[in-house]
Amino acid sequence: MNAILRFALVAVLVLGSILPAAARKRSSHSPPPRKADVEAAARLQVFLDRANFGPGKIDGRYNDITRKALALYRESRGEQPQTPPPQPKTKSNAKSNVAPDVTGLDLASVDPVFIPYTVTEADFQSIGQLPKEPAQQAKLKFLPYRDAADAIAEKFHSDIHFLEQLNPGKLKALKPGDQLMVPNVEPFELASVKDVKPGSEVSSQAANEMEDQPGTQAGGPEQTPGAPAGVAIKVDVKTNILEVREGEKLIAAYPVTVGSTHTASPIGEWKVGRITKMPTFRYDKEMLQHGQRSGNFYVLRPGPRNPVGVMWIALNKKGIGIHGTNDPGSIGHAASHGCIRLANWDVVRLATKIKPGDNASIH
């Protein structure tokens, strides 16, 4: 009998330790957000995107970038500046969908949040095979989107996984004429990049190879009608935010990726130099990792998946610029090699607001 009791007691103790652990494991996985919550978050993101306060990729979540954009939008409206409370950078926190205070925002102006889009032949004109290694990419005359889903996600400023959620089972075999639901933002049109003003003509020289030209940048004020006077860029390396100010007025803000501690972005006061559309890029691993030029490099041709994206905004420091990206998912999260990186749709909008000679502060 004593042996039986001892066995029963051990079993109770073992089960008592296992079951709570299992329960804790189940509770650690938060339930998926409700459809209404996802739409409400996407509505706010679209609202901010339209107002030129970039929320990053639209993903239907109240992520950290969206909260920063909201705080800056409120500041631009003359409200008391709000600083989002610091939150630990954990995977679960990044997916938090707790709604911020949206009192006073005209979110009803975003209606509908999602709109139908018919896939066109043009969506397939800039896609193709894209090898991973720079040595292989250097053999291509154009660095394309990987597939139509990649192109359409960027066109509508979207996280591709969110686009998949909006269109279950439709993205794997897209063809012209297919109907998709997409966020109701101003589309990013790759073909229109060449018409962006201000800007310089397409250059055959790699954007990060151009010499410093503090007094003779291409595309001077007389060539850029419509660009507002007194515009300045301010990059905060701690918050990963680029602000555009006209005098003291905040007129736009975009999430950015800045340099790492190893290859830090250059702190200081700079000037906007040449603005190059559809740039080529000199890929030098030694330069990117250690700041030392080497003879082992590759010249990568233009395209949306060029490492510097579709636009290079030079600063008066050789090799350093504000530019697009081939990986919009890295914005606000990863570390660059010293430059300031934006999503392609944001860097194009930034280029329409600035001109050579404008101040650019990195702090």
What CATH architecture does domain 190-362 belong to? Beta Barrel (2.40)
- Mean pLDDT, 10 residues at a time, the chain of 363 residues: 46 42 45 87 98 97 97 93 52 62 96 98 96 95 97 98 97 96 97 80 56 39 51 94 96 90 75 95 73 79 96 87 93 74 97 95 94
Are the C-beta atoms of 90 and 64 separated by less than 8 Å?
no
Q: What number of H helices and E strands is found in the chain?
A: 9, 12
Q: Smallest Cα–Cα separation from 188: which of 349, 303, 306?
A: 349
Helix (H, G, I), strand (E, B) or coil at 188: coil
Q: Is 1.20.120 the CATH number for 114-183?
A: no
Q: Smallest Cα–Cα separation from 254: which of 332, 359, 320?
A: 332
Q: Is the omega angle on the peptide bond into residue 198 within 30 degrees of 0, that is, cis?
A: yes
Q: Which amino acid is at 82?
A: Q
Domain ranges of the chain: 35-109, 114-183, 190-362
Q: What are the CA-CA distances from residue 126 to residues 30, 98, 141, 144, 181 (Å)?
A: 39, 38, 12, 5, 21
DSSP code at position 339: S
Q: Taking the model in full, what pTM does it have?
A: 0.81
